[in-house]
């Protein structure tokens, strides 16, 4: 009535109300909220247009590793979307150990598999490098229930960062040119390795983490949270068999296992005789040379090449971990 604001409001809150962006939540006008749909839509549109490109954000955060996020996993997820947006051949994106399967020569695309009232819908994913932060590429499943929900196609997000105790860091589905589908599970290792190659212990753990028979099983063979969730392992594996149009020649669960490491090379062949999988699931490594090619003209230009050179060469061994850009920080995911 008197155009006077209560003293408990901040200057920004007063401005929001004055311009009609916010409203009072209580009769005493002590709290405000910005929840008008048109205001939120306009704000989202502005952020998408004025925010720096997503690629630059993920590149700058590639070494950030906290209990809440993993920069390398995020970067790999973004680049995989970039690769499959252009419908790359599967054997160009991944380097198979041994003779590549016949189906790997087909072009593939990243898809969203989402359950609707009319059944399960499969849609191609097309997110550009200029997309803003309002678009969702992945779901961070903090609980086992959220992981099972995504595996059961209850979310339209195409990529899942599953519960840490499951094993893999990323899970998604690709559709081949012939219309068949398969799961892809990825273990991402940001490591300088030893002499430019991922250490054998790291590699063995990575291979184990993407093997279906080891999902939600710890290194001692004990199921995760068996006392409170006795059916967790069986539910997880059953979800993989519920994929529409899944290929039957990609192992028991129609699943491709992938190890992605950088700047160290995986050196997968060194441990292939120790492969824990006995259900016919092929294993491959992520082709980082392809990612270099796809991203070399994006800002920051030639980012991966520069990062690789900074952690290799004759003087690399003399650098401290701080100067080389590799930081020792707690790992958010329980490696099993």
In this model, does residue 312 exceed pLDDT 80?
no
Average pLDDT (134-162) is 91
Could you give the percent of the chain with pLDDT greater than 90? 62
Q: What is the pLDDT of residue 67?
A: 79
CA quadruple 34, 39, 41, 47: dihedral positive or negative?
Answer: negative
The secondary structure of 186-243 as a DSSP string is EEEEEE-TBTTB--HHHHHHHHHHT-GGGTTB-TTSPBTTTTT-TTHHHHHHHHHTT-
The average confidence (pLDDT) of the chain is 85
In this model, does residue 15 exceed pLDDT 80?
no
Q: What is the pLDDT of residue 95?
A: 97
More confident call, 66 vs 130: 66
In this model, does residue 333 exceed pLDDT 70?
no
Average pLDDT (253-257) is 98
Could you give the percent of the chain with pLDDT greater than 70? 83
HSE-up of residue 116 (Cα within 13 Å, Cβ side): 8
Q: What is the pLDDT of residue 48?
A: 62
Neighbours of 238 (CB within 10 A): 14
pLDDT in tens, 72-93: 999 999 999 999 987 899 999 9
pTM: 0.79
Average pLDDT (60-78) is 91
pLDDT in tens, 287-300: 999 999 999 998 89
Q: Which of 55-64, 148-157, 261-270 has the weakest average pLDDT?
A: 55-64
Task: Give the pair of three-digit tokens for residue 170.
Answer: 């990323």
In this model, does residue 5 exceed pLDDT 50?
no
In this model, does residue 154 exceed pLDDT 80?
yes
Average pLDDT (275-281) is 96
In this model, does residue 320 exceed pLDDT 60?
no
The secondary structure of 289-336 as a DSSP string is HHHHHHHTTSSSTTHHHHHHHHT-STTGGGS-HHHHT------SS---
């Amino acid at each position: 009535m008197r155009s006077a604001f209560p003293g408990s409001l901040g200057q920004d809150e007063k401005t929001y109300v004055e311009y009609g962006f916010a409203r009072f939540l209580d009769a005493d006008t002590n709290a405000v909220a910005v929840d008008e749909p048109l205001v939120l839509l306009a704000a989202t549109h502005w952020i998408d247009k004025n925010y720096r490109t997503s690629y630059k954000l993920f590149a700058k955060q590639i070494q950030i590793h906290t209990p809440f996020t993993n920069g390398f996993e995020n970067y790999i997820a973004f680049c995989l979307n970039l690769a499959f947006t252009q419908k790359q051949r599967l054997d160009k994106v991944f380097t198979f150990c041994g003779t590549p399967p016949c189906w790997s020569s087909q072009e593939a695309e990243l898809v969203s598999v989402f359950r609707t009232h009319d059944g399960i819908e499969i849609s191609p994913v097309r997110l550009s490098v200029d997309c803003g932060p309002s678009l969702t590429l992945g779901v961070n499943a903090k609980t086992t229930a959220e992981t099972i929900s995504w595996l059961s196609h209850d979310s339209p997000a195409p990529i899942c960062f599953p519960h840490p105790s499951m094993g893999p860091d990323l899970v998604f589905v690709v559709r081949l040119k012939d219309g068949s589908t398969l799961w892809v599970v990825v273990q991402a290792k940001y490591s300088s390795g030893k002499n430019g190659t991922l250490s054998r212990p790291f590699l063995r753990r990575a291979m184990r983490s993407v093997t279906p028979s080891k999902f939600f099983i710890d290194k001692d063979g004990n199921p995760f949270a068996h006392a409170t969730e006795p059916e967790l392992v069986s539910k997880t594996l059953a979800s993989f068999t519920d994929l529409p149009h899944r290929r039957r020649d990609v192992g028991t669960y129609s699943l491709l296992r992938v190890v992605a490491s950088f700047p160290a090379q995986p050196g997968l062949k060194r441990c292939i005789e120790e492969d824990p999988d006995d259900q016919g699931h092929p294993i491959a490594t992520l082709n980082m040379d392809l990612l270099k090619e796809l991203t070399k003209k994006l800002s920051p230009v030639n980012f991966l090449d520069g990062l690789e050179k900074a952690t290799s060469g004759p003087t690399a061994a003399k650098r401290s971990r701080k100067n080389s850009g590799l930081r020792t920080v707690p790992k958010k995911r329980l490696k099993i």
